[in-house]
Amino acid sequence: MIRPRSVEEPRLNRLFKIAFYYSLQLVCRLACVSLFHLRCLGREHTRVAGPALILSTHQSHLDPILVGVAFNERVNSVARQSLFPIPVLGTVIRWLDAIALDRTRGGLGGLKETMRRLRAGRKVLLFPEGTRTPTGRMLPLKPGFLVLARKCSVPLIPMAIVGAYDALPRGTWVLRPVPIRVVIGPAIEPDELKGLDDAAALELVTNRLAACRQRGQRR
């Protein structure tokens, strides 16, 4: 397990970001419950002490909001570098302490910053499928997150989002008021990955995500 280290930041900036995050979280939580009758199953599994990687299925642009609503504590998301220059959106992303990922450079900067956040004791959200699903079905996982999991030796929290694809499918910005469920599974501890090659580790995580997804589809 990595030992938390402080992330240097002016105190006023840090306090502002915390206040902004929890204010926006409250607004989003109320909106999601009203619009989508949001239900979060397995929230007891969010209570993991210290740093962790949150691994979620990726259905729509709503997903980072839904994950943020499901967790009581702050969650750092990874966002494309191209989103940061966009007026208003870029400002909000910065205030939420998102991690910039520059895919044109292989994402190395985002990888280093994610490791820095984990060493500071943060929880970081990743979408291991790498992109939003075009069909609503789970995509094969990309192995990049395993580098972080093994390097930082942190728990992996699997979760699935069911219904977000129908609420805001890829290629549209028109919201549909359909039910959404977020399902969080038991954390995968670092010891569970020891001795597994990438293929076996990916299978383990895929099965945990699929189990969360199946639970969400049953209710």
CATH of the domain at 197: 3.40.1130.10
- Rounded-to-integer distance, Cα 151 and Cα 68, Å: 25
Q: Tell me which residue of 153, 146, 131, 5 sits closest to 59, measured CA to CA.
A: 131
Q: CB–CB of 124/99 below 8 Å?
A: yes
pLDDT of residue 101: 84
Two tokens at 57? 């299925």
Which residue reads 């990687």 in tokens?
53
Q: Which residues pair with 200 in a beta bridge?
A: none
Two tokens at 102? 């520059």
- Is 2 a domain residue? no
- Is 29 a domain residue? yes
Q: What is the DSSP string of 200-215?
A: HHHHHHHHHHHHHHHH
pLDDT of residue 6: 45
- Is 4 a domain residue? no
pLDDT of residue 108: 63
- Is 46 a domain residue? yes
- Is 97 a domain residue? yes
Q: Which residues pair with 55 in a beta bridge?
A: 126, 158
- Rounded-to-integer distance, Cα 209 and Cα 186, Å: 10
Number of domains composing the chain? 1
Amino acid at 160: A
Phi/psi of residue 124, each to 5°? Answer: -120, 135
The 10s digit of each residue's pLDDT in 15-68 is 999 999 999 999 999 999 999 999 999 999 999 999 999 999 999 999 999 999
pLDDT of residue 3: 52
pLDDT of residue 43: 96
pLDDT of residue 83: 86
199: left (phi over 0), alpha (psi -120 to 50) or beta: alpha
pLDDT of residue 82: 87
- Is 45 a domain residue? yes
pLDDT of residue 1: 54
- Is 6 a domain residue? no
Q: Which residues of the chain have pLDDT under 50?
A: 4-6
Which domain, by its residues, includes 122?
11-218
